[in-house]
Structure 1
């Protein structure tokens, strides 16, 4: 049975039963548990189901559905960026992770580490990493944005200001040579500014569709970041000009 055939059948039985363990899916489809685990991970990375401890559940049964719908946009690009970003993290690091869906794509690859501390305002990141041995989680406190599944506000900024980390991984709504880093939301810009201030190295994760474009809240210059992690579509003069600002581009 091909992956596409297994994918269709797994989603069909999850639609019927809402949540199943690896062993239950294995028995129902007559495929090995190892194959089921691999398929569930692939489907989770595509944003088509939610992995649970020992199995999976359909997205309609989650409090994080809106986030996962956002996560499915530019899925392949986000997964590649997330994988490259996670490769910059080493055992023993303490890192900031914001609530963006591209930053969330790091999670599957961070699980390979033996010792890591994650400070985040993202509930989906907490849900994804909470059962991973070796990863400690510090959830930022403050006001909960139910749509974004993230914590914001003045108390959240105060929380962030009590820490200093080696690396921060943040997203952006727009980045340009003229206006630097921009966001659609003042509260998200506030959180990102706090991350930038309290990290030794800042990694900005975004697909190339947001480069050269602006949102309405300006919150930082290109000199606020050290690394730009993006897809292979960023080439030519724009890439060179960004690098001339002191930003190292990783693709």
Structure 2
């Protein structure tokens, strides 16, 4: 149940970003930290959101893998960074991509590139680029971590 327009905006931001800090909500909503805390209290009480230390998230995201949650946090900024970096990479070049959410966005931006040689320790990046456009993908050895692939 939405109690106010700000409650609706808080829920909209959480749907888009996953987890949002109280400070960010205050800034984006143009209200004080205490107002945000008062706004999230009824949403927390009814189970619409989860309150963590200094931030809030949706309950459906609590059981989600940390990597998946981070893929949604600041997603638009990560996409912009990825687009800018992808524009500097030419077909046929060799690149190394470390594991991470911004580099995973970069891998998706590179789907239009051809004949890349990619060295990565990320199973997500390897899966994204290995089977397209004549790319060669090499994976660095090591332990496969469940939270980030």
The match for 2:140 is: 140
| Superposed counterparts of 1:80-159, under 5 Å | 80-149=80-149
Q: Compute the TM-score of the two structures, normalised by the length of structure 2.
A: 0.53
Greater helix share, 1 or 2? 2
Measured after TM superposition, the shift of residue 117 of structure 1 is 0.5
- Number of residue-to-residue matches in the alignment: 87
| Superposed counterparts of 1:175-194, under 5 Å | none
Conserved? CA contact 1:113–1:134, under 8 Å: no
Looking at structure 2, the residues matched to 90 and 72 of structure 1 have their Cα atoms a distance apart, in angstroms, of 28
Looking at structure 2, the residues matched to 128 and 69 of structure 1 have their Cα atoms a distance apart, in angstroms, of 18
Looking at structure 2, the residues matched to 65 and 112 of structure 1 have their Cα atoms a distance apart, in angstroms, of 28
Question: Does the residue aligned with 2:144 lie in a helix, a strand or coil?
Answer: strand
The match for 2:73 is: 73
RMSD over aligned Cα atoms: 2.0
Looking at structure 1, the residues matched to 84 and 145 of structure 2 have their Cα atoms a distance apart, in angstroms, of 28
The match for 1:152 is: none
Q: Extract structure 1 runs of 4+ deviating beyond 6 A.
A: none
| Structure 2 gaps, min length 5 | 1-63
Q: Compute the TM-score of the two structures, normalised by the length of structure 1.
A: 0.33
**CA deviation digits over 1:62-99, x for unaligned, max 9?**
xx943221111001100000111111111121110010
Moved more, 115-124 or 127-136: 127-136
Measured after TM superposition, the shift of residue 130 of structure 1 is 2.5
Greater strand share, 1 or 2? 1
Higher relative contact order (CA 8 A, sep 6+): 2
